[in-house]
Structure 1
């Protein structure tokens, strides 16, 4: 009996309750209450109850009032609980009222217990199918280990973004990122440590994304970001920053310092002529593999150049600390302007004789000239 689904029968007539229990006991574990208020208290505390069969006319709380409490409850399990109302004389008005309040089914007592059991069985089967569908959708939406979107869900998100972009003449960009030499990383550090590295990387990415972007898994040690409304040049800029941030990071896992690099593939619509969301994602993935094959730690964008944006002083210092001056050089004019007040203060307080005018002149010569 413990394995049978639990249901609650509510009726102020003990004769009716006993009759129902005798007919249902081989199919369900039955709990009984004699009024609506007691039934409500039972439903709140007993999480095992999977359905309710309630009389319409009862003391304290009638069937309508009990149904209203169930459907307006803050408890999700009660909002969706199968609920059958049983009336002595069913009228169209009663049926319409019950339907409006969210009843699952409405049965007249004259229909007989066999009919009631059939309808209850159908409702339980429907509920089970809906729960299975919800569980499958949850598995589709999020990876249970990391909480990130699955690749299939990213494709669905991208398909919606492409449809919206086509109507409003917008860009949709996608980037696929993968750790270089991830198989070797797993062999050296073990699968559990490699997974921890991936989770840290995913959190870093999530913290840098816009609210409207979607982050999910692409493959083992690989991630994808769907960016609706983002021009490819700005996506390339973001990719470059992510790649550089990973390169200069000093990641410590279980006392070990791990050096990591990522390769990134970019694709976008309408720049890249593809017909489907899956094709756009696959194009970005293929470009990531090309970047890996060309030595790794690089971005393959199909010829799209990053949009030029100033870098922060902190980021410039990180790059210099990693012995990577090349990305800093193009930004020297803007960095120099921001540092000039500090140089002036140092010159004054330390009694230095810095050639500040000459520094400003040379930085000015390096600024790009607009036509």
Structure 2
């Protein structure tokens, strides 16, 4: 009996419940309730129930009201649950109302047991086929391990966004993010662990995006974001914030502290002239690869200088706290000049006799050599 499909019969008549149960037993495991409210509580708590056969007129909660609760439930399994309404005097108006509310089938009391079985069997077979279809569709749309969108689905999202941009005269941008030296990360910890690290950062990124943005896979250790209605300059700003956040983060992997960096390519219309959504994503991907080849840990958006951008004092301190000294060294001259006014004030107030002139001379000398 444990392997049989579970069906809930709801009717205030004990005789009707017994009759329906007799027809179904042997093919289904039956549970009975005498009113709509009790049936609702059972449906919420019992996840094994695969179909409902309910009377139309019942105390506490009618068949219509029970059906409405099921179809408007936040639980997906209830929204799609096969639901049969049973009535002794149904009219065309009642049938139309039940159909509009999402009833699966409508049968008359007294119909033969063979007919009930055929209808119930057909409904469950249809539900099973739909579930398999949905699962296949989700597999095409989403990666089962990360839950993120597939690259093909991102192309569809980008195509819709471009269509919207053309109609309303607004921008659409995409950014492609890739982990620098991802292959080496895989060799060091194994490909599975490297993918887990990448997916962990992708989930962090998902928490910082707008609802209308779409995040998905682009390649191994690479992700893409489609941002409808976003100008290219704003997308570049967001990309740089993401890049800096990854740069200062530290992960504990197999007992080791691991730091990673990313390179990001950004493209968008109407600034970039592309023929299709796939071309827009490919352009962002190309700029990401160029950023990696230029040393990594940078953002490329077409026409942007290859040199690493100056970082803020706050970001430099974050990097030093994370033991990322090498990431600060290229910015040392600019940071030193920013600090000079503060050092002069400290020297004056604390009487430190700092060699400020020598510090300034050395900074200028380094800048001249570059």
* Interval containing the TM-score (normalised by the shorter chain): 0.7 to 0.9
CA shift digits 1:268-318 (9 cap, x unpaired): 223333232223212322343444456655555443459x99853212444
Whether 1:279 and 2:283 are equivalent positions in the alignment is no
Question: In the alignment, what sits opposite 2:349?
Answer: 349
**Residue aligned with 1:81, SS:** coil
CA distance in 1, matches of 2:254, 2:246: 18
Unaligned runs of 5+ in 1: 361-371
Aligned to 1:365: none
Give the Cα–Cα distance (whole angstroms) in 2 for the partners of residues 34 and 210 of structure 1. Answer: 47
Task: Give the corresponding residue for 2:367.
Answer: none
Q: Distance in 2 between matches of 1:171 and 1:53?
A: 52
* TM-score normalized with structure 1 length: 0.76
Asked if the contact 1:236–1:305 (Cα under 8 Å) also holds between the matched residues in 2, the reply is no
Runs of 4+ aligned residues of structure 1 deviating over 6 Å after TM superposition are 330-333, 353-356
Aligned length: 355
- Give yes or no for contact 2:265–2:285 (8 Å, CA) kept in 1: yes
Moved more, 258-267 or 48-57: 258-267
Aligned to 1:55: 55
Aligned-residue Cα RMSD (Å) equals 4.0
Partner of 1:182: 182
Residues 306-340 of structure 1 deviation map (CA, whole Å, 9 limit, x = unaligned): 9x99853212444894264545666888x46xx84
Instruction: Tell me by how many angstroms 1:160 deviates.
Output: 2.4
Task: Give CA deviations for 1:2-24 in whole Å, capped at 9, x if unaligned.
Answer: 32221122334455444433433
Distance in 2 separating the partners of 1:234 and 1:75: 38
Name the SS of the counterpart of 1:89 in structure 2: coil
- 1:185-217 CA-partner distances (Å, limit 9, x unpaired): 212222343234313433554465555543322
Give the equivalent residue in structure 1 for 2:104: 104
Residues 57-136 of structure 1: pairs in structure 2 closer than 5 A: 57-58=57-58, 61-71=61-71, 75-109=75-109, 111-136=111-136
Gapped runs of 5+ residues in structure 2? 361-370
Q: Match of 1:5?
A: 5
Task: Find the counterpart in structure 2 of residue 322 from structure 1.
Answer: 326
| Contact 1:9–1:54 under 8 Å retained in 2 | yes
